[in-house]
Amino acid sequence: MVLEGHPRYKSLRLRNKLVDGYEKGITSAHGLIAHGRGEAFDYLLGEQTSKNALDATNVACAYLLTARHPILSVNGNTAALASEEIAEFCAITSIPVEVNLFHRSVKRINRIADYLHAHGVVNVLAGFDFVKLDHISSDRAKVDKHGIFKADVVFAPLEDGDRAQALTRLGKVVLTVDLNPLSRTAVTSTVTIVDEVTRAMKNLISFAKRFEGKDDQDGLDTLKASFDNVQNLKTSYVIIQQRLQSLTL
């Protein structure tokens, strides 16, 4: 149990969620290590949503709201950390979810799909009716015919570089959340949200709520056109540099 007054309460709560996910067979052992890398970058970034991360989140949401066939690709880490937020976001936007795993097993796909359903996600594709994409060495190449394969906009938090590259090569818009602004995924994606995934999901929900029931295609298109992913990533590099330079020992 983590007490709310603990100085690292939020970070410890997320760790607990992941360990719980691991014990339930949702998160892989590798996922725990991947989370540690994310935590290290979050520490360097100040453990808060920066303005440039919020800008990227809003642009990502604009892409999702204007897509013909959007899809949210969920892995074992994202499911353990953010199922409640995914359920709320998908209820507002009607975007379907595809369970797509790096360390793929039928057992884990079913467990994650059940876990998402239990948290209120209605439309979950398990990826059993799949097509294998080229140029991807991992099992993430297997994508659902009715999900990622058909999608024009793929939102894949905690994605891997190979697939981000392969999906952009196929002409898809790739949106990701990655605390490491230097990763291949971060530099390859159309929009990279350099933020912690639960914070990013909450901000996506707020943005989607503002546009609920409104038809503002022009406004959303203008927002998309104004965005430069490389410039946005550079702002994250600067934040890390400035934080390191401001350290006085």
Write out the residues near ligand PTJ by the rule CB under 6 A.
28, 30-31, 34-35, 37-38, 41, 75-77, 81, 101-103, 158, 160, 177-180, 183, 196-197
- Please report how close the Cβ of residue 232 comes to ligand PTJ at its closest, in angstroms: 15
- Which amino acid is it at 73? S
- Please report how close the Cβ of residue 213 comes to ligand PTJ at its closest, in angstroms: 30
| Closest CA relative to residue 130, chosen from 148, 114, 112, 154 | 148
β-pair partners for 155: 72, 175
- For ligand PTJ, the closer of residues 37 and 209 by Cβ is 37
- For ligand PTJ, the closer of residues 38 and 96 by Cβ is 38
- Please report how close the Cβ of residue 152 comes to ligand PTJ at its closest, in angstroms: 23
Q: Tell me, rounded to whole angstroms, the distance of Cα 129 from its chain centroid.
A: 23
- For ligand PTJ, the closer of residues 37 and 214 by Cβ is 37
Sheet with 70-74: strands ordered across: 124-125, 97-99, 70-74, 153-155, 173-177, 191-193
- Please report how close the Cβ of residue 214 comes to ligand PTJ at its closest, in angstroms: 29
- For ligand PTJ, the closer of residues 76 and 96 by Cβ is 76
- Please report how close the Cβ of residue 139 comes to ligand PTJ at its closest, in angstroms: 8
Angle at which helix 197-211 crosses helix 51-66, to 10 degrees, equals: 50
In angstroms, the CA 147 to CA 144 distance is 5
Residue nearest to ligand PTJ (CB): 38
Burial class (CB in 10 A: 0-12, 13-18, 19+), 65: buried
- For ligand PTJ, the closer of residues 127 and 220 by Cβ is 127
